[in-house]
Structure 1
Amino acid sequence: MEVSAKERLDFGNMGYGCKHYRRRCKIRAPCCNEIYQCRHCHNEATSMLSNPFDRHELVRYDVKQVVCSVCDTEQPVAQVCTNCGVNMGEYFCEVCKFYDDDTEKGQFHCDDCGICRVGGRENYFHCKKCGSCYSVSLCDNHLCVENSMRHHCPICYEYLFDSLKDTIVMKCGHTMHCECYEEMIKRNKYCCPICSKSVIDMSRTWKRIDEEIEATVMPEDYRYQKVWILCNDCNDTTEAYFHIIGQKCSHCRSYNTRSIAPPVPQ
C-alpha cells in the first residue's frame, strides 16, 4: 500500500530521542566530531571527562550535520530527512539547529534572546532591559534589572538564560530557579541572595518583631543607645535605638536592616 506524504513525515513521531527531547535525529558535534542525541547529552558527557582541558560545551549555532534516527543517514541540517522523508522534528528552528517532536511545549524562537523558548509566543514578551523573555503577567509589572537572566542562579549556580528549569523574577528584579526559590523559602530565608531585599510581604513578621521588642526591655546601660543602620529593603540610612532583637528602619518600617556603626552612648 502506498504511503501518503503525511504518513511518511509522521513516521516515528515521538518514538526517538533522549531524556531531554523527543526527536528523530541526532547531531554531530562540530567541536569534537562525535554524535550525540542533543547538545545537553553532549555537555553532560563532556563535563564528566577526567581531563579538565577536554571538557567543553557545544555551541548550538555551530551544528552543521545531523543523523536521521530512522534511516541513519547523515546530512546537512534540515527539517525533513533527505533519504527517508521523515520529519526529524515536528518543531524545527534553523537558527538554533533545534528539533523537537513534542510540540505541546509551545516552542517559539525569540530573535531578541537568540534562542528558542517554550510556553507559547502569545504568553511571553521580551524585556529588552532584563535581556530575556518573561510571562506577559510581568509586563509593566516587574522591576527591571539589566541582563538579570544572563547570570547564574545564586543558589545552584546554573546559568539561567538557557536553563531548562523554570525561573522566577523576585520583587527586587533578580532571578533564580523556581525550585531553588521554593527551597530557600522552605528554609525560612526571605531575602534575595544577591541584594538582600525581602522577597515576600514581611509586614506580619515586622509586626510580630514590634511586639517582641515591646515585651523585651533592654538593660539600663543599653536602653537609650542608638546605632546607625542601613535598610536592605529601601536602601535608606537611619539612626535607630539599639535592641538585641533588631533595629527598625524609620523610613519603610522594615527590620531587614544591618548596623553600620556601633551603638552611640546617650
Structure 2
Amino acid sequence: MAASAFGCEHYVRSCLLKAPCCGKFYVCRLCHDAEEQHNLDRFQVQVVKCSVCKKVQKAQQTCEECGIKFGEYYCDVCHLFDKDKKQYHCEQCGICRIGPREKYFHCQKCNLCLASDLQGNHKCVENVSRQNCPVCMEDIHTSRIGAHVLPCGHLLHKTCFDDMCKTGAYRCPLCMHSAWNMDNCWEDLDKEISHTPMPPEYQDVTVKIMCNDCQTHCTVLFHVLGMKCSSCGSYNTAQDGGLIPRQQQQQQEQQQ
C-alpha cells in the first residue's frame, strides 16, 4: 500500500518516531528538537507509531497492522522516512543524502559527498563539513540545506551563500578569499580608477598591502577605490601599514 500524505513541514511520512530519550512521539527529529530541551538521536530510534491505524511497532518501512508504507524511502540506519527524493545512504558520511547517487561522490579528505563535477576540481579542506556554517553558525554536515563549496574549499549553506551575495559581500567569511571569480569586477574597477584620479597630494603616495587571494605582500599606489595586487591583479586586498609618500619610498629603496 502506498504511503499516505502525513508528515510535517520537514518530511512526508506516515508514522511517528518514539524518541528514545524521552519516550514521546514526534513526526521527526527536527520537530522533537524544536519542542524539547535535548536532541533526538535518530540512530537510536527503535519504535514507531502508524499515523493511520495508530499501531506501535518496531521501526520498519511498512506497517505490520494496516500495510501502509511509512515512507516511499526508508533507511534502517538513519531511520529516515520520506517521499522519494532519490536519496541514498552514504557509509562514509554516516547519513542519508539526497541524490541521485550517481551525481555525487564522497571526497575522502573533505569527508563529504560533493557533486560529481567537483571531483578533482575543488580545493580539499580536511573534514570541512564538520565545521558549522560561518554565516549562520548552524551544522552543515547533517543539514537538510545543501552546501556551497567556495574556491578556497570552505563550505557554507547554499541559502547563506545566496544571502551573502545579496548584501554585496564577496569574501569567504573564514579566510577572506574571493568567493567566486572576480575578474570582471576587477576589470570594472580598473576602469573606474582610471577615470577617478587622486588629488595631486596623493598621486605619488604608496601603501603596503596584503592580498587575500594570493597572500602576496607588495607596495602599490594608494587609491581610495581600491589597491590592486601587483602579483595576481586582485583588489581583494588589505592595507598593511600607513601611507608612504613617494620620496620616502624611494629613500627606503635606496637604503635596501
Confirm or deny a common fold (TM above 0.5): yes
Amino acid at match of 2:12: R
Tell me how far apart the structure 2 counterparts of residues 256 and 208 of structure 1 sit (CA, whole Å).
14
> Residues 10-37 of structure 1: CA distance to partner in whole angstroms, max 9, x if unpaired?
15x1322222112221111111111101
* Pairs within 5 Å for 1:75-224: 75-100=57-82, 102-103=83-84, 105-224=85-204
SS of 1:130 mapped into structure 2? coil
* Pairs within 5 Å for 1:241-256: 241-256=221-236
> Residues 200-252 of structure 1: CA distance to partner in whole angstroms, max 9, x if unpaired?
22222222222233333334443323222110111111111222222111110
CA apart distance, 1:137: 1.3
Question: Does 1:58 pair with 2:50?
Answer: no
Amino acid at match of 2:169: K
SS of 1:263 mapped into structure 2? strand
* Pairs within 5 Å for 1:40-51: 40-46=30-36
Determine if contact 2:136/2:160 at 8 Å carries over to the other structure: yes
SS of 1:61 mapped into structure 2? helix
Tell me how far apart the structure 2 counterparts of residues 251 and 145 of structure 1 sit (CA, whole Å).
25
CA apart distance, 1:58: 0.9
Normalization by structure 2: what TM-score?
A: 0.89
Tell me how far apart the structure 1 counterparts of residues 119 and 213 of structure 2 sit (CA, whole Å).
23
Tell me how far apart the structure 2 counterparts of residues 118 and 218 of structure 1 sit (CA, whole Å).
54
More displaced 10-residue stretch of structure 1: 211-220 or 229-238? 211-220
More displaced 10-residue stretch of structure 1: 121-130 or 73-82? 73-82
Amino acid at match of 2:109: K
Aligned to 2:18: 28
Amino acid at match of 2:4: M
Aligned to 2:254: none
Tell me how far apart the structure 2 counterparts of residues 90 and 222 of structure 1 sit (CA, whole Å).
68
Normalization by structure 1: what TM-score?
A: 0.86
Give aligned pairs, total: 246
| Change beyond 3 A, Cα 1:216–1:14 | same
Question: Does 1:19 pair with 2:9?
Answer: yes
Q: Which runs of 5+ in 2 are unaligned?
A: 248-256
> Residues 147-185 of structure 1: CA distance to partner in whole angstroms, max 9, x if unpaired?
222222222222111111222112221111222212222
SS of 1:207 mapped into structure 2? helix
SS of 2:219 mapped into structure 1? strand
More displaced 10-residue stretch of structure 1: 91-100 or 79-88? 79-88
What is the root-mean-square deviation of aligned Cα atoms in Å? 1.7
SS of 1:211 mapped into structure 2? helix
> Residues 42-99 of structure 1: CA distance to partner in whole angstroms, max 9, x if unpaired?
11222xxxxxxxx111111111211122221212222233333333233221111222
